Amino acid sequence: MDVLAGLSYPLRALALLRQTPRLWRYVIVPILVNIVVGAALYLGLFVTLLQQLQARLAGSPFSEVVVAILGALLAVLLAVTIGFVLVRFGVVLGAPWYGQLSEELEGILTGHVQRPDRLTAGTVAYDIWRALLFEGKKLALALAIWLLSLLLLLIPVAGGMLYTAAGLLLGALISCLDFFDGPQERRRLGFRQKLRTIRVTLPGSLSFGLVAFSLVSIPLVNLLAIPLCVAAGNIFVIERALPQATGSARRPGSPASGPAA
């Protein structure tokens, strides 16, 4: 079943990583980068905010107890917030290594890699523009869907459940866009083509998106889950989506076709 297959891709990615030691450098390095960035943000914000809190409450009754309680709450809140921020920007921070991981995975699975154009100042500028445009379109799409989902709260009784379900589906959609991007971006597919990839691979893409969204939503766990989901999303697209996305009749496992027009 496609639903169960979608759920299996993180496990398959983990198995492939265990079997291919050379791929671990593309996983460990971005994890370390995210840990360093996350720790620096966390410690910097926590120390600064705690000092401001102590200064504001200095001299007030039970100030030490209040500071201790509020400090504990601040620690938890910052951990959750920075974890969320790393989910959104972790893929960006690890992009150079994840791009290499994507190429390696495609080479392993198909025997051929669709490589991007030779690096020049022009191609770098174009890649940056495409990345910014992609992030902007994702944000606009997420905002539009979220605003529409607010209308569900007007439905008596079932409105809250429907709104929660819509939030999960939105998280799954954005996760698919994030983790499916590597092989598709090398082929310079447009945003609508990337959305079409998700549509034509349903229900597998939905189940993959839900499990990926769940994994990367857990603070600290997401540091390990992000590269795993990147690898899993690449495998999913290479095996299931590239024939539809590029218009090729290639079956999973055969050499990939050239870039789509």
Q: Half-sphere exposure (CA, 13 Å, Cβ side) for 75?
A: 6
173 in the Ramachandran plot: left (φ > 0), alpha (ψ -120 to 50) or beta? alpha
Determine, yes or no, domain membership for 254. Answer: no
| CB-based burial label for 84 (10 Å; 0-12, 13-18, 19+) | middle
Distance CA 206, CA 211 (A): 9
In a domain, 261, yes or no: no
pLDDT in tens, 133-172: 888 899 899 999 999 999 998 988 888 899 999 999 999 9
Q: Which domain holds residue 196?
A: 2-246
d(CA 187, CA 37): 31
- pLDDT band (50, 70, 90) for residue 30: confident
Is this structure's pTM higher than 0.85?
A: no
- Count of domains observed in the chain: 1
Asked, for residue 117, whether it belongs to a domain, the answer is yes
In a domain, 251, yes or no: no
Q: Is 191:134 a contact under the CB 8 Å cutoff?
A: yes
Judge whether 259 lies within some domain.
no
Please check whether residue 133 lies inside any domain of the structure. Answer: yes
CA-to-CA distance for 50 and 31, rounded, in angstroms?
Answer: 27
